[in-house]
Amino acid sequence: MLSALTEFSAELRAAGIPVSMVEVMDAGDALRHVDLGDREGVRAALAATMVKNARHQRAFDTAFDVFFGLRSAPGAGEQENGTGGAGPPAAGGAGGGGELDELLDALVGALSAGDTERLRDLVRHAVDRLSGFQAGRPVGGRYYLYRVMHRLDAERLRRRLLEVALADAGEDDLAARLAAERASDQIDRLRREVQEEILRRLVEDRGVEAVARTLRVPLVEDIDLMHATREELDEITARVMPLARKLASRLAARRRHGRKGRLDVRRTIRRSLAHGGALVDPKWRPRRITKPELVLLCDVSGSMATFARFTMQLTYAIGHQFSNVRAFAFIDGIDEVTEFFGPGTDFTEAMGRMSAEARLVRRDGHSDYGSALNGFASRYPDAVTPRSTVIVTGDARNNYRETGSEVVAAIADRARTLHWLNPEAARYWDTGDSIMATYAPLCDGVHEVRTLRQLEAFVERIALAPRSARQVRRLT
């Protein structure tokens, strides 16, 4: 067991989950109190001791399924010839259309009734018949999953499940919607079971390590924001809100730290009267509060589409946490979008309003930093104040147009700090029409932010670099 545990923790680390020595030992301790035959119990024990971040749960589950997923297949011997007790009724024929229909019927029954045992039997059978599994073939599980789900005709299956669900439900619209959701859930359930079954076979075929390696997916925080899929974006989105909260609290931190200012002699002496003149209860003058402000300038042009969505999400999240935010979006024109993303708004709606109402395009709809920045300087001259933290997000790909660097310099001079977030890999900066180097010396910091992890690091670091630091850097 111990060696299995060390191997497992090595796999977790390889998948990017930090697992310390102590945690492995805790896991070992925990396993001594757990019934090892109870797979879910073991999973819970290991997860509680080794995974300390909800974000890593999925990667953990995948690794766990590979390592400890070999649920002893009932009648493993019988499976060799494809039939046996596990099959659906009258599963004799060699994959004719009629047999598939029967399988579908049985699946609908098992899913609707929530009969796990029966479902697993059926899934095993379906994978036997439909996956075209070939031992030793180095394809990933996804290919087999696709094949099985395709041949089962998931869409038709969903419709049939919906019929069953609807029959139970009442007449009204709400019932119909609930039934549809139930049907989708059941299809998801089926997909998970099929996936697990395929995984089990892959592990049997190719061994734990090989499978674990192919299944390793990047953690949410390592997904490239520019090329994230829809699904990944959703997951990223869920992480943005806490991050914005953190950013807001970082910016506000200075207010709270050093709440105690200078000694307030008058009030201290006044208080001391209660203790017979002993100065046991010193009173402090409150510090003067400087309210930090945040100004966001976001490039939302086509080349930035995915990233722009993400930055606007961040803007939206910050807007809900932090009152002094002004957000501007630009392509070749610039417009203020603060009110779209302010408190009490809805993100999807805000995005819609931004593209419909904000005047971001003045000419051809290609990035033009010069025009946008000059527009910013002339139309919003008072947006940036000495208290402002300015964050520009953009790839600095300017289509060989005017740079507007003098505006950036002016902003940098006026603002407390100016940070530039670039979603491109640093090695591509200043290639082609990217003019990052023009802006970089003007900013307090230029950060490559391609992943959530990098954004987090930025938020950690933004702990308000003192103004003087930049002035020194400018001189050099």
Partner 1 sequence: MPWTNAADAAAALRSVGYLPDDRTAQVAFLAERLSKPILAEGPAGVGKTALALAVAAATGHRLVRLQCYEGLDEAKALYEWNYHKQLLRLQTDEGRRWDELEGDIFTEDFLLTRPLLEAIRSPEPVVLLIDEVDRVEVETEALLLEVLDAFQVTIPELGTMTAATRPFVVLTSNNTRELSEALKRRCLFLHVDYPSVERERAILLSRVEGLSEELAARIAEVVRSIRRVAVRKAPSVSESIDWARTLLALAVDHVDGAITADTLHVLLKYQTDIDKVTRELELTPSGEG
Instruction: Tell me how crowded residue 132 is: count the other CB atoms within 10 A of its CB.
Output: 12
Query: What is the CB neighbour count within 10 angstroms for residue 65?
Result: 21
- For partner 1, the closer of residues 68 and 380 by Cβ is 68
Nearer to partner 1, 32 or 427 (CB): 32
Query: How near is the Cβ of 248 to partner 1 at its closest, in Å?
Result: 10
Q: Which is nearer to partner 1, 57 or 323 (CB)?
A: 57
214 close to 443: Cβ distance less than 8 angstroms: no
Measured from the CB atom, is 103 or 110 closer to partner 1?
110
Task: Write down the least CB distance from residue 173 to partner 1, Å.
Answer: 5
Q: Beta 325-330 vs 334-336: how paired, if at all? A: antiparallel
Which one of 1-9, 204-212, 338-346, 359-367 is the stretch in contact with partner 1 (CB under 8 A)? 338-346
Query: Which span sits near partner 1 by CB under 8 A: 22-30, 143-151, 378-386, 461-469?
Result: 22-30
- Under the binding rule (CB under 8 A), the answer on residue 129 touching partner 1 is no
3-state secondary structure of 341: helix
If one asks whether residue 170 binds partner 1 (CB under 8 A), the answer comes out as yes
Q: Shortest gap between Cβ of 411 and partner 1 (angstroms)? A: 30
Q: Looking at beta carbons only, is 403 or 454 nearer to partner 1?
A: 454
Residues between 237 and 276 with contacts to partner 1, criterion CB under 8 A: 242, 245-246, 249, 256, 259, 275-276
Count of residues in contact with partner 1, rule CB under 8 A: 48
Give the residue with the Cβ less far from partner 1, 49 or 311.
49
Residue given tokens 């033009």 in the structure block? 368
- Nearer to partner 1 by Cβ, of 34 and 100: the residue is 34
Q: Which is nearer to partner 1, 320 or 470 (CB)?
A: 320
Q: Which of residues 345-364 bind partner 1 (CB under 8 A)?
A: 345-348
Residue 174 half-sphere exposure toward CB, CA atoms < 13 A: 0
- Residue with Cβ nearer partner 1 (170 or 218): 170
Helix (H, G, I), strand (E, B) or coil at 159: helix
Q: Which residue, 1 or 475, is less far from partner 1 as judged by CB?
A: 1
**Taking CB under 8 A as the criterion, which residues in 316-335 touch partner 1?**
320
Cβ of residue 476: shortest distance to partner 1, in angstroms?
A: 33
164 vs 415, beta carbon nearer partner 1: 164
- Least Å distance, CB 415 to partner 1, is 26
Ramachandran angles phi, psi of 83, nearest 5°:
-110, -170
Query: With binding defined as CB under 8 A, does residue 23 bind partner 1?
Result: yes
464 binds partner 1 (CB under 8 A): no
CB of 29 to partner 1, least distance (A): 6
Amino acid at 390: V
SS3 per-residue string spanning 168-208: HCCCCHHHHHHHHHHHHHHHHHHHHHHHHHHHHHHHHHHCH
Q: Does 280 bind partner 1 (CB under 8 A)?
A: yes
Asked if 255 and 261 count as a contact pair (C-beta separation under 8 A), the reply is: no
Residues 25-84 that bind partner 1 (CB under 8 A): 26, 29-30, 33-35, 40-41, 44-45, 47-49, 51-54, 57
Distance CA 52, CA 32 (A): 20
Q: How many CB atoms lie within 10 A of CB 267?
A: 14
Binder among 3, 77, 172, 288 for partner 1 (CB under 8 A): 172
Q: Which amino acid is at 318?
A: I
Place of tokens 């998970």: 192
Residue (39 or 362) nearer to partner 1, CB: 39
Distance CA 268, CA 315 (A): 44
245 phi/psi in degrees, rounded to 5: -60, -40
Cα radius of gyration (the chain):
30
Binding of residue 233 to partner 1 (CB under 8 A): no
Q: Which stretch binds partner 1 (CB under 8 A): 24-32, 307-315, 375-383, 447-455?
A: 24-32
Q: Which of 194, 191, 166 is nearest to 180 (CA)?
A: 166
Instruction: Enter the tokens of residue 218.
Output: 């990047």
Residue 468 CB burial class (10 angstroms; 0-12, 13-18, ≥19): exposed
Q: In the range 89-128, which residues lie near partner 1 by CB under 8 A?
A: none
Of 391, 329, 319, 383, residue with least CA distance to 356: 329
CA distance linking residue 359 with residue 394, whole number of Å: 18
| Residue 263 phi, psi (nearest 5) | -65, 135
Site residues for partner 1 per CB under 8 A: 18, 20, 22-23, 26, 29-30, 33-35, 40-41, 44-45, 47-49, 51-54, 57, 170, 172-175, 177-178, 181-182, 242, 245-246, 249, 256, 259, 275-276, 278, 280-281, 320, 344-348
